[in-house]
Structure 1
Amino acid sequence: MNRLALAGLALTASAAGTLPALAADLPQAPAPAPAYDAAPAGQHSIDWTGLYVGGQLGWAFGNFDNTTGGLSNDFSTNGVGGGVYAGYNFQVTPNIVVGLETDFNLTDLEKSGTVGGLSLKSSSDWNANFRGRLGYAFDRYLIYGAGGLALADLEASANGFKDSKTALGWTLGAGAEAAVTNNIVARFDYTYQDFGDQNFNLGGTGVNSDFNNHQVRAGIAYKF
């Protein structure tokens, strides 16, 4: 009986020693993958292609170089200017943007003075531009140059007579835009207009006026 008990104890001890080895040979559950914080999503660059319409407000600086009877006098003036603009951009490459734009602006440019004894008033109430644009885009920003044709209303008056005309000239400018959202675009724009010599007949008195102006404007547009 004692021998049977001792044999049972020896068998139990042997089985107990074997179990860890058998457990080590069994398939093990894979270790959990390490956790990492998600990388922040990159900011999506705007697609500049499309139609846009906006409004702008700023300041205009005008100069009328008036000549009559062989004598001349420069009338320099400045005032508020603002209006509307619209255009279409085409993004040729991720960085190169070309487009066409037109704008119409009301201005408060008026100055009176004397030229060779003639009391003269020169004024311009509105102007417009038809421009091609070439820009460089990076992220949500665009810098551009622009140039083309310009129109302006010019008027001269003296001694109860006045003469007005719509003058054709040229324009150059540059600016920068920022996409506040994918549809709202803010801008800062500089434009120069030159209309050359314009002739006015004031009751038989001829007046020649060489008009140019500079405009600095801020605007905001909706891009479709």
Structure 2
Amino acid sequence: MKPLMRIVGAAAILVWGGAASAADYPMATTSEFVNWTGAYFGGFGGYAAGEITADADTAPYDAEYDLNFALGGVEFGYNHQFGQFVVGGEIDISFTDGDTSETLAVGEYESNIDWLATFRLRAGYAWNNLLIYATGGFAAAETDDRFLSGGAEEETTGSRKGWTAGAGFEWAFYDKWSVKGEYLFVDLGDDEAIQDPNGVLPVGFGSSVVEHQYHVGKVGINYHF
């Protein structure tokens, strides 16, 4: 329930901010932007605030820690407008080099993320050159999580799959160009770590399941074809 409340709150902030910004500037210079139908391509930058949860078979090896990082990437999408309603899809990929660690009395967890991609549907409402939308779909990322203790380690690495949902606004400001602001909640699910057969982990450790969740804020610019 807490992630849902965060999504609703962030969506309200984005809608309010987008509407206020649009009111301060003139409309796009051509009528082409009144119709959002068509393909677009763009780039973006942003910041992710994440939480990693490691649940081991016994409580002393559990951990919760943060992984925060800047990101940047590219996106491609397509919209179709029906009256003032706009629906479409978007694919994006973000590149980053986020890493963190959490030290426990019994060892240390390390985590990093190399890239994050989403494949989402969008549905929104357009006021001339301002589009407010909700979005949701599939998320994937490349992560590496390790528990280290006395020279032994338990590791899970590779691509993760999960889901994402959020909201945003896009404002067409000149000719074929638009700017956007977006919030996404990303849940990459959980993955069980694989024990190193050559090491000896603490007695009673068993195995651990590591979960990644992120709150992502992005700003970007798009070119519409």
> TM-score, structure 1 length as denominator?
0.76
Number of residue pairs the alignment of both structures matches: 182
The residue that corresponds to 1:80 in the other structure is 70
**Change beyond 3 A, Cα 1:220–1:43:** closer
> 2:168 maps to what in 1?
175
2:42 to 50, 54, 61: 54
Alpha-carbon spacing, 1:56–1:80, altered in 2? closer, same or farther (3 Å): same
Distance change >3 Å, CA 51–CA 43, structure 1 → 2: closer
Structure 1 range deviating more: 50-59 or 196-205? 196-205
Among 143, 148, 159, the residue aligned to 1:166: 159
Identity percentage of aligned residues: 33
Whether 1:199 aligns to 2:188 is no
* RMSD between aligned residues: 1.9
Distance 1:160 1:183, change over 3 A: farther
Quickly say closer, same or farther: Cα 1:207–1:62, change in 2 above 3 A. same
* 69-78 vs 125-134, which moves further: 69-78
- What letter is aligned with 1:154? T
Q: Deviations over 1:155-186 (max 9, x none)?
A: 11234644302111000011001001231010
Structure 2 partner of 1:221: 222
Match of 1:131 in 2: 120
> For the residues of structure 1 that align with 2:115 and 2:104, how far apart are their CA atoms?
24
Q: Gaps (5+ residues) in structure 1?
A: 1-41
Displacement of 1:214 after TM fit? 1.0
Contact 1:66/1:115, CA 8 A, preserved across alignment: no
d(CA) in 2 for partners of 1:99, 1:67: 38
Q: 5 Å matches for 1:1-224?
A: 44=31, 46-71=34-59, 72-93=62-83, 95-115=84-104, 117-157=106-146, 158=148, 159=151, 161=153, 162-204=155-197, 206-224=207-225
Shift of 1:123: 1.4
User: Residue 7 of structure 1 corresponds to which residue in structure 2?
Assistant: none
Q: For residues 59-89 of structure 1, what are the alpha-carbon distances to aligned partners after superposition, in whole Å with 9 as ceiling and x for unaligned?
A: 1111110122422111112111111101000
Answer yes or no: is the 8 Å Cα contact 1:60–1:107 preserved in 2. no
Distance 1:208 1:109 in 2: 20
Structure 2: distance between partners of 1:116 and 1:134: 48
Deviations 1:101-152 (A, max 9, x none): 0100013332111356122201111110000000100011000000000001
SS in 2 for 1:48: coil
Distance in 2 (alpha carbons) for counterparts of 1:111 and 1:208: 17
Instruction: Say whether the 8 Å CA contact 1:79–1:108 is kept in structure 2.
Output: yes
Higher relative contact order (CA 8 A, sep 6+): 2
**Paired residue type of 1:187:** K
**Consecutive unaligned residues in structure 2, runs of 5 or more:** 1-28, 202-206
Q: Verify the 8 A CA contact 2:156 2:191 in the aligned structure 1.
A: no
